[in-house]
């Protein structure tokens, strides 16, 4: 379960673990961006907000809110599902694509 945000202390922050980028054994983090929903990040993750608060989750995948409607920031609470983006003129209803 994601933990509530707490103040971020750069001076005493834990160093990033594991080998440096490019060294054997270093695996990149996968981030999945969905324009209609949250950004999915392989965990565990530590999210530092612009106000310096830190939120930590040890889940294997976390959903970060990108619509700013969530009540559990920075985590997605599916609020985006209740507020659909208005269709633009000419968009197909079933796919949201503009006809060719």
For CA atoms 43, 1, 15, 32, the dihedral sign is positive
User: Is the Cβ–Cβ distance between 63 and 80 less than 8 Å?
Assistant: no
User: Is the Cβ–Cβ distance between 52 and 7 less than 8 Å?
Assistant: yes
Tokens of 45: 């993750």
Write down the domain spans for the chain: 29-80
Can you give the pLDDT of all 100 residues of the chain as single tens digits? 555 555 555 554 544 455 555 566 667 889 999 888 899 999 999 999 989 999 999 999 999 998 888 888 899 998 878 766 666 677 665 544 444 4
pTM value? Answer: 0.55
Count the neighbouring beta carbons within 10 Å of the beta carbon of residue 38. 22
């Amino acid at each position: 379960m994601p933990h509530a945000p707490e103040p971020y202390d750069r001076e005493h922050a834990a160093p990033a673990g594991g080998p440096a980028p490019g060294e054997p054994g270093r695996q990149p983090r996968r981030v999945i961006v969905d324009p209609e929903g949250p950004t999915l990040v392989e965990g565990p993750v530590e999210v530092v907000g612009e106000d310096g608060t830190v939120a930590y989750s040890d889940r294997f995948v976390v959903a970060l809110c990108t619509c700013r409607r969530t009540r559990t920031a920075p985590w997605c609470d599916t609020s985006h599902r209740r507020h659909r983006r208005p269709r633009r003129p000419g968009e197909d209803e079933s796919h949201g694509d503009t006809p060719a």
